[in-house]
Structure 1
């Protein structure tokens, strides 16, 4: 029973996140604060848009094909809900980008996952394209690397000066390295290197 309850809570939280994200998109209030944006939505946006286009075509087709009024109404309501849900998922990817703030790097995925890394704890950062098995947005690899995946991939690697514990929706992880996806990994690495004290001193 407990696993079922946990799964139910996750679905409820995701549903809330989707609608909050959609509301932010409609009102044009992205959660970005001050800092340099590092976007990750590009890898997923094309897939979500493909589902949206299919749904737009499918909803009226199903409505015309089903002969029973009650079933037709239920299918129409479900189709419209699904369409808005996909727009909300698309919004969630755009409303919560990674942010390079003056004092920290905020690595995020959608609304609830955020890893705050103080810039003075960054030892090194580099491009590092990797693919992973599984569809989880967070994955611990090699016991010391936490991957924040988009499309089962990461392309930026941040090494820390010491192990750091991060609290996430999936629990706590203590790691020395964080990997994440950026739509423009070269620009992301350059910006983090310019902001991190250890990287600046190394370059000097």
Structure 2
């Protein structure tokens, strides 16, 4: 029963996240927490939009093809639910960006993953494009499994090295890592902003060398 219970909780949590994200999008209230957003939605937006378009075309097509009224009603309900679900997934990518504040960098994936990296604990940050296998959005990788990767579109393109290992509490379990990797739509600008935030001198230096 435990695996079934975990699966049910994950489904309920994801469903809740989707509808909360959709509500935020309708009310135009992205969750930036007063900081500077670092977007990552571009990596998957095209794919999600493709599903949305297909779903929108499929709903009237199925309605015309099914001859039984009861089956039409069920198909219509499922089609509308699926379309709204995909719109909510797109909204989740836009409503919960990474956030850079005066004190920390919050690395996110949708509404469920949020890794808080205190700026005082960052040793270095750089562009580092890497691809990953598997469908998991959170993976512990690297020699000695010390890099925690928050994956979008099967990739990350920014690497943040910490002064010392940090333990992160996530819905997928607890992970201890000395490096965090994640995706940003504009990695060069993101790296420059993070460098300037945790070390103004190194930020100036990066602008000269990049």
- TM-score, normalised relative to structure 1: 0.97
Kindly state the Cα deviation for residue 7 of structure 1 after the two structures are TM-superposed.
0.6
1:140 is aligned to 2:140: yes
Q: Counterparts of 1:45 and 1:197 in 2: how far apart (Å)?
A: 33
Distance 1:95 1:201, change over 3 A: closer
Q: Counterparts of 2:204 and 2:141 in 1: how far apart (Å)?
A: 27
Contact 1:135–1:151 (Cα < 8 Å) also in 2:
no
**Match of residue 93 from structure 1:** 93
Alignment of 1:10-159 (within 5 A): 10-142=10-142, 143-159=145-161
**CA deviation profile, 1:41-70 (whole Å, cap 9, x unmatched):** 001110000000001111000000000111
Q: Counterparts of 2:180 and 2:101 in 1: how far apart (Å)?
A: 17
Q: Counterparts of 2:36 and 2:190 in 1: how far apart (Å)?
A: 9
Contact 1:123–1:199 (Cα < 8 Å) also in 2:
no
**CA deviation profile, 1:82-125 (whole Å, cap 9, x unmatched):** 00000100000000000111110000000121000000100000
Q: Unaligned 5+ residue runs, structure 2?
A: none
Kindly state the Cα deviation for residue 37 of structure 1 after the two structures are TM-superposed.
1.1
Q: SS of 1:150's equivalent?
A: coil
Kindly state the Cα deviation for residue 36 of structure 1 after the two structures are TM-superposed.
1.5
**CA deviation profile, 1:127-164 (whole Å, cap 9, x unmatched):** 00000000111000021000000011000000000000
Structure 1 outlier segments of 4+, above 2 Å: 197-204
Q: Counterparts of 2:130 and 2:36 in 1: how far apart (Å)?
A: 24
Distance 1:188 1:201, change over 3 A: closer
Q: Counterparts of 2:205 and 2:185 in 1: how far apart (Å)?
A: 25
Kindly state the Cα deviation for residue 197 of structure 1 after the two structures are TM-superposed.
3.0
Q: Counterparts of 2:20 and 2:75 in 1: how far apart (Å)?
A: 24
Q: SS of 2:56's equivalent?
A: helix
Question: What is the aligned length?
Answer: 204
Q: Counterparts of 2:63 and 2:201 in 1: how far apart (Å)?
A: 59
Contact 1:122–1:198 (Cα < 8 Å) also in 2:
no
Q: Unaligned 5+ residue runs, structure 1?
A: none
1:178 is aligned to 2:176: no
**Match of residue 191 from structure 1:** 193
Q: SS of 2:133's equivalent?
A: coil
Kindly state the Cα deviation for residue 4 of structure 1 after the two structures are TM-superposed.
1.1
Kindly state the Cα deviation for residue 200 of structure 1 after the two structures are TM-superposed.
3.3
